[in-house]
């Protein structure tokens, strides 16, 4: 019996990828590294420091900075990102999400956020959905990021539920792997090819219908 839903943020509840891109792009330009939107696809769901490492690798600058300098660069990107997300409003919820969250609350299904983003709580406030969620996994407490199951296992624990009582929703392949490895029913948003490991997949958030998901997850 499903009693909780654990959501990814970027690409499921809202699309912050463009803001991450603009902030990374500004830093990359300053460092003389070419970054385009296609490369940005590979940064989705990846932690801030891992994203920086990948960008430095693109520019062959892996060994140029100390850890302390890299932390400064990541902070610089984050300050720009925080400016950009001030523009986020409830209109930025992806299609169908407001209805899905309302349907979940009406059924007393508990909600958790399992995002790699340390800015998750601020974005949820700006989207006007913070109060609907029971708990947020703090990504700073994780030993390993997605595809490791830790973040979704913690999500279930914080909801005081067993993994089999939960559904996880993700848009990244690494995220689906993480949900599956946690023993949680996985719902994927994306192309059939990208979401082939998901227990149930749809191509857009608009198609996320609670009855349909529960029918499959409760089987």
Q: For binding to ligand G16 (CB under 6 A), which residues are involved? A: 8-11, 20, 43-48, 51, 78, 115-119
Task: Let me know: does 46 contact 117? Beta carbons within 8 Å.
Answer: no
Q: Quote the radius of gyration of the chain (alpha carbons, Å).
A: 17
Using CB under 5 A as the binding rule, whether residue 177 contacts Mg ion is answered as no
Using CB under 5 A as the binding rule, whether residue 168 contacts Mg ion is answered as no
- Shortest CA distance to 198 belongs to which of 8, 4, 3? 8
What's the rounded Cα separation, in Å, for the pair 85 and 114?
19
Q: Which one of 10-18, 93-101, 155-163, 184-192 is the stretch in contact with Mg ion (CB under 5 A)?
A: 10-18
H/E stretch holding 105: helix 97-106
Nearer to ligand G16, 98 or 174 (CB): 174
CA atoms within 13 A on the CB side of 178: 30
| Token representation of residue 20 | 């991450």
Using CB under 5 A as the binding rule, whether residue 10 contacts Mg ion is answered as yes
Nearer to ligand G16, 47 or 205 (CB): 47
Using CB under 5 A as the binding rule, whether residue 190 contacts Mg ion is answered as no
Indicate if 10 belongs to the active site.
yes
Q: Identify the residue among 5, 7, 11, 153 touching Mg ion (CB under 5 A).
A: 11
- The residue from 10, 50, 75, 103 that is catalytic is 10
CB neighbour list of residue 178: distance below 8 Å, 6 or more residues apart: 146, 147, 148, 149, 150, 151, 152, 168, 170
Min CB(215)–ligand G16 separation in Å:
26
158 binds, among Mg ion, ligand G16, none (CB under 5 to 8 A by kind): none
Q: Which are the catalytic amino acids?
A: 8, 10
Residues lying near Mg ion in the complex (CB under 5 A): 8, 10-11, 45, 171-172
């Amino acid at each position: 019996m499903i009693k909780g839903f654990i959501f990814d943020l970027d690409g499921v509840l809202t699309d912050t990828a463009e803001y991450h891109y603009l902030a990374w792009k500004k830093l990359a330009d300053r460092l003389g590294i070419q970054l385009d939107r296609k490369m940005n696809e590979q940064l989705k769901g990846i932690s801030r420091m891992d994203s920086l490492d990948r960008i430095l690798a693109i520019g062959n600058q892996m060994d140029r900075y100390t850890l302390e300098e890299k932390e400064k660069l990541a902070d610089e990107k984050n300050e720009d990102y925080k400016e950009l997300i001030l523009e986020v409003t409830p209109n930025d919820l992806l299609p169908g999400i407001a209805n899905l969250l309302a349907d979940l609350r009406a059924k007393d299904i508990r909600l958790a956020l399992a995002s790699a983003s340390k800015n998750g709580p601020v974005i949820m406030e700006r989207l006007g959905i913070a109060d609907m969620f029971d708990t947020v996994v703090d990504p700073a407490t994780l030993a390993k990021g997605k595809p490791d199951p830790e973040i979704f296992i913690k999500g279930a624990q914080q909801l005081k539920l067993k993994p089999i009582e939960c559904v996880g929703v993700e848009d990244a392949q690494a995220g689906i792997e993480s949900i599956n490895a946690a023993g949680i029913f996985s719902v994927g948003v994306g192309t059939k090819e990208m979401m082939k490991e998901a227990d149930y997949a749809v191509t857009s958030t608009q198609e996320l219908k609670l009855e349909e998901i529960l029918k499959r997850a409760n089987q």
